[in-house]
Amino acid sequence: MAVYVLVYMPTPYVIYEPGSADEIKPLVTVKNGDKEEKGTFMLTTVLRKKANVALMLASVFDKNEQLAKENLGGRTQQEYTTEQLFNMSNSQTNAMAAAYLHAKIPFDVIMDKLVIIYNNPQLETKNDFQTGDQLISLDGVKFKQYDELINLIQSKKVGDVLKGKVLRNNKETDVMVELIELKDVKGNTRPGMGVNFGIEQKVVPRGSDKEIQFKVENIGGPSAGLMFTLELVNQLTAGDLTKGYRIAGTGTVSPDGLVGPIGGIPHKIVAADREHADIFFAPAQNYDEAKKKYDTIKTNMKLVKVNTVDDALDYLKSLPEKTTK
């Protein structure tokens, strides 16, 4: 009985702890890019694991573990995972756009696919969608832009039943969708599906041979945007921005280079230090939280606050070349 309680009895809790600090260069390829890199850029992660009673007790004695009640916002575990993987894809798209802008390479953003993330758990949706489905067509219409889907739905009425096709597990599957009534913040009603969509996009350089490809697996979330951008700028432009340093960090990035806040930064600070990072870039909105954790660990790593990609680039340009003793 004691073993069951400690190990097998389910609990509503999860544990967050430092994850990894992964080198980015093996994860991206820039065709005809500048490969010189004496140091490295690293993305940082947080490890999230289900907590049994034994792990909950152990977490009390580990200053780097955080026990929290699991909250998926009404989503299933699979829906949560799909959303996190989409967020990672979106961070790559934004990083490409920001990097091309800094490298002064014209580009176009093209919708690649529409992916069903989840049905809104607060609505009584009426459809056959499953998380991860790629929408191929609806009512016989294929979409090149998300606005075309919106226009189609707006041309219908509540209760209309539409036939569609999705790509599910690499196989075309027929689905049915009954439109439901949706309300906006002002109380106005309209027909809709009650579905959270992810819009996957391609960023294509215009008149350039500097195409970018990512090879990222099993990492979710949007927080690698800043570090992806720095690696891409390094490969898209001449010279080595790393100057021999091990550079870690975190932060979302917008296409115009704004760095946004993320979750779990105390764990990412520890993960970076464990991989002997020299520098850690922290979003300005997370800096105080990062500094609080930073001050509790014995490290020579420099903690640097950034609001934009330019802030990080300016800091790197001001560094002398790293010398080895």
The catalytic residue positions are: 223, 268
Pairwise CA distance, residues 323 & 325, whole Å: 7
Give the H/E segment covering residue 175.
Answer: strand 171-178
* Residue 243: how many other CB atoms lie within 10 Å: 17
Pairwise CA distance, residues 93 & 160, whole Å: 35
Residue whose entry in the numeric block shows the structure tokens 């969509």: 197
Q: How far is CA 322 from the centre of its chain?
A: 31
Backbone φ and ψ of 117, nearest 5°: -85, -55
Pairwise CA distance, residues 64 & 187, whole Å: 46
Pairwise CA distance, residues 223 & 251, whole Å: 5
Pairwise CA distance, residues 300 & 54, whole Å: 34
